[in-house]
Amino acid sequence: MSAVLDSLSRFYASSIGKKILVALTGAVLVIFVLGHMIGNLLIFAGPDAINEYGHMLQTSLHGGGVWIARLGLLAAVAIHILATVQLTKQNRSARQDPYGQHKAQVSSKSSRAMIWSGMTILAFVVYHLLHFTVRVGNDYNSDAYKTQLHGETVHNVYKMVIDGFSWAPASIFYIIAMALLYSHLSHGVSSLFQTLGLTTHRTAPLFKTLGHAYATLILVGNCSIPIAIWLLGYGG
């Protein structure tokens, strides 16, 4: 028992061990982001579609499903952040005397700014949860945001999203956050294959293209919602 725990803690203490955990938790979040986007695009299928989807999430496994997902995601986010912050601190101390001249030859700006795009996304996630999940500083929990669906009283997700994004500052912050998520994913997706040891000479260009395509898909899909509501007046 303790021998296994000892080697697990040695695994976490090692550079590659931490990176593998970052890659695995990153993979979980990458898949979550896609599912989250597909679910939210139901806003374009009308009020009933997204309200029914929201109700399904809330009531799956007698209301336990959403908590299993939340705790799982919370654990993934916590490990992802803890490990990357520790890695970044080690990286900083690995070169204390900076170069007078240092030229990046092949790396992208996105790849060099992962910690900053990540931190901004974290701030956004906190705001997003307060905005639409906990619903602080708004009246989205009130009876005005209840509606009837198949004879049941359910939360009116549709109205909440339309009202939420009709306020320009919220939409602008969401779009900025999605731009940084694009930046983060454009390096992160292909990077996780490398860290997990799955990239080969043949698949490297494929994973790179896939990463950019995936990041673009998430950017376009997620931004389409605030843009449609705030700029094009969808649902107004």
Partner 1 sequence: MSLLNLHLKVWRQNRGHSGHFQDIEAQDIPDHASFLEMMDIVNERLIAKGEEPFAFDHDCREGICGMCSMTINGVPHGPEKATTTCQLHMRKFRTGDTIWIEPFRATAFPVIKDLVVDRGAFDRIQRAGGFVTVRTGSAPDANAILIGKEVADAAMDAAACIGCGACVAACKNASAMLFVSAKAGQLNSLPQGQPEKDRRTIAMVRQMDKEGFGNCTNHYECEAACPKEISVRWITKLNRDYAVAAVKESLIGHQERAEGGE
Contact positions vs partner 1 (CB under 8 A): 3-4, 7-8, 10-11, 13-20, 87, 90-91, 93-107, 111-112, 114, 187, 190-191, 194-201, 204
| Tokens read off for 225 | 């919602």
With b for 16 or more beta-carbon neighbours within 10 A and e for fewer, the 81-98 pattern comes to bebbeeeeeeeeeeeeee
With b for 16 or more beta-carbon neighbours within 10 A and e for fewer, the 33-66 pattern comes to beeebeebebbeeebeebbbbbbeeeeeeeeeee
Closest CB to partner 1 among 196 and 228?
Answer: 196
- Give the closest residue to 212 by CA, choosing from 187, 175, 181: 187
The SS3 assignment for 146 reads strand
Closest CB to partner 1 among 9 and 58?
Answer: 9
The distance of closest approach from Cβ of residue 233 to partner 1 in the complex, given in angstroms and rounded to an integer, is: 42
Residues 6+ apart with CB under 8 A from 16: 195
Closest CB to partner 1 among 101 and 142?
Answer: 101
Closest CB to partner 1 among 96 and 142?
Answer: 96
The distance of closest approach from Cβ of residue 210 to partner 1 in the complex, given in angstroms and rounded to an integer, is: 15
In DSSP terms, 149 is beta-bridged to: 152
The distance of closest approach from Cβ of residue 110 to partner 1 in the complex, given in angstroms and rounded to an integer, is: 10
The distance of closest approach from Cβ of residue 172 to partner 1 in the complex, given in angstroms and rounded to an integer, is: 30
The distance of closest approach from Cβ of residue 92 to partner 1 in the complex, given in angstroms and rounded to an integer, is: 8
Closest CB to partner 1 among 154 and 192?
Answer: 192
